[in-house]
Amino acid sequence: MNVNEEKKKWLSGLSVDELKIVAAEVGLRPFAARQMADWLYKKRTAQVEAMTNLSVAARQRLQELGYVVGRIEPIQVQESCDGTKKYLFPTLGSGAIEAVYIPDGERATLCVSSQAGCKMGCRFCMTGRQGFQHHLTAGEILNQVLSIPESERLTNIVFMGMGEPMDNLEAVLRAVEILTAEWGLGWSPTRITVSTVGVVPAMERLLRETKVHLAVSLHDPFGEERHALMPIQNRYPIGKVVEALRKFDFAHQRRLSFEYIVFDGVNDSPRHVEGLTELLRGLNCRINLIRFHAIPDSPLRGVAPERMRWMNGALNAAGITTTTRSSRGEDILAACGLLSTLAQK
């Protein structure tokens, strides 16, 4: 499903420096860039016409040059019995994307997508099974945040939706900059978590250039077994990923977590607990255990609740802070690993 915006130029997703170039194009002074940013990211306007502290001539010129704010409303919403909502968005390229809104008391998290589809091919993920369509622009990433009805209520954002954020790093960095800049949405970076399967060079750059939290998809401490679940292991072995992470400081505000989906008879043994303990020894981190949500035609199976409790206890006893993530939105296919817009292609 597409939005016919190819000839339009989005203002949303541009930095202040880029907006200065736009301002010059339409005959405005550089300070007008801050005015536009205020309209785009603080006032959250959806129309160029609403930017009333720009001259009428400048607004008309923006439109003549093909500039639009850059908003796409969701075309579908599904609500889970637990209050989770899954939004479907058209994109500027082929395919569609999904974003998931997760309310939890005073906390309200949006799980955003960074790509339409995904190249990584993880065996337990419906998005990976879908394959890759295209990268999202920074504007399309921000659009998920700005265009849902609950936008003003959000307290946290996680880049854990469709796609591998490190595979679209430039757009993700730009979106994070706008989310956290004082001229943008002004969020603390501690409200944002970015996930990765372990694309080391991009991961290191994200850690150098931002202060957001990082979540690494681990799922098995042993290389050959992890490769059977995650083809990325062949290019970036988990040992090398952890070695790269040891160069960074996670002892203060920034948090490092490892995501670990538990599969029955695959990665849930005492041997795996020992392997995780050895792999992560001395690293300031936590493990999030995640229940596997079955996908069609997959031999993988989740474990019983008592097995999850055992693994949680065993890892904590071994000295690794471990939590078990609550499953949300499974009835609307919004839970971890279930996002797919294959039917929308």
Q: Mean pLDDT throughout 80-108? A: 93
Residue 285 annotated in active site: no
The beta-strand segments (E) located in the chain are: 9-10, 67-68, 76-79, 85-90, 96-104, 107-111, 115-117, 132-135, 156-159, 192-196, 213-217, 256-262, 286-291, 321-324
pLDDT score recorded for residue 95: 80
Q: Choose the catalytic residue: 118, 125, 285, 336.
A: 336
**Cβ-count burial of 134 within 10 angstroms (0-12 exposed, 13-18 middle, 19+ buried)?**
middle
Q: Mean pLDDT throughout 172-195? A: 98
- Which amino acid would we find at residue 89? F
Per-residue pLDDT at 202 exceeds 90: yes
**Cβ-count burial of 145 within 10 angstroms (0-12 exposed, 13-18 middle, 19+ buried)?**
buried
Written as six digits, the tokens of 185 are: 């949405």
Residue 118 annotated in active site: no
Mean pLDDT of the chain: 93
The C-alpha angle 274, 164, 116, rounded to 5 degrees, equals 145
Q: Choose the catalytic residue: 18, 98, 224, 278.
A: 98
Let me know: does 99 contact 126? Beta carbons within 8 Å: no
- Write out pLDDT tens, residues 230-270: 999 999 999 999 999 999 999 888 999 999 999 999 999 99
